[in-house]
Amino acid sequence: MDEEKLIEVVVPPNKEKQRLDTFLTQVLGSVSRSRVQKVIAAGKVTVNGTPAKASHLVAPLEKIAVCVPRPQRADVLPENIPLNILYEDEHLLVLNKPAGLVVHPAFGNWSGTLVNALLHHCVDLSGIGSRQRPGIVHRLDKDTSGLMVVAKNDFTHQHLSKQFSEKQTEREYWALAWGHFKKKRGQISTYLARSPKDRTRIAVRPEGKLAITHFEVIEKLALLTLVKLKLETGRTHQIRVHLSHISHPVFGDLAYGGRNRQFGALSNQQRQLAAELLEIMSRQALHAKTLGFLHPVKNEYLRFDSELPDDMKQLLARLRKEPA
């Protein structure tokens, strides 16, 4: 298969002057502006037979030739890993990710990831997410379960990414958090950045990016609270850091105090119950339960809801046997 495809465009006779990169982004539709700029910088775009710059102002009837690199398949091997797919068409798919499954390959996890599974399941995926992250529009932490949407082409990827960045998607998480909340509902707003002490963790830092999480208590339980959370922003580890910040860390969350922080204030009987609960929950009790978005091609609003995973169900069943 050819590594490039040639696209030829004639500027309309009534076209006003416009930057070449902007014009091509509009004409090509499924190719991002940054990708167009890279193609131009590589000398793959000519105007009337001469290589052009991104800043060139197109004029009526100019003949533009573009050699667009075909999306490269990720250098990650397909693997036959079962997927729990809730919806699929030729443009995208929605799946329920189990806890323990890493989303994309990275140092220490070059196989056994969601991307490996997707490459086995799908004939093609969008290339925007890089060679290690084809089709990945958004991600969930390894030990967070729940709903994800995956793009099968660049056009779908761009439009879904725009919805996420412009806060047009619906994302609802359920978590079991330590302690009992003073308020039924509220908002957590901080600035988040990498921790200077541990680069694998996120911390509340004044120089960070704004992060906003809305919470609502669903059920008060023994030691814990079942809480619903909606993201207004989508920062790394946002919910986990925010709940820890207000002294209600996600139960079982090793990185942010969910496995040990509360033990000092517990009675012996409560300690025994907490230890039993931690045996059930080997990860953070966090699940991406609801996902809604506008289908980029069909222009239909799609909304999906998923059941809580077995470990969270088991945790709830045990907690409901105890007085709150």
Catalytic residues, by residue number, are: 141
- Tokens read off for 323: 């007085």
- Tokens read off for 28: 């090509």
- Cα separation, 91 vs 138, in Å, equals 16
Q: Which residue in the block uniquely carries the two structure tokens 């809801």?
A: 305
- Cα separation, 274 vs 266, in Å, equals 9
- Cα separation, 1 vs 74, in Å, equals 16
Please name every residue paired with 46 in a beta bridge, in sequence order, or none if there are none. Answer: 51, 65
Output the CA–CA distances (angstroms, integers) from residue 267 to 262, 271, 274, in the order listed: 11, 6, 10
Which H or E run includes 291?
Answer: strand 286-294
**242 neighbors 181 (Cβ within 8 angstroms):** no
Closest to 188 measured CA to CA, from 225, 230, 217: 230
Q: CB-based burial of residue 12 (10 Å sphere; 0-12 exposed, 13-18 middle, 19+ buried)?
A: exposed
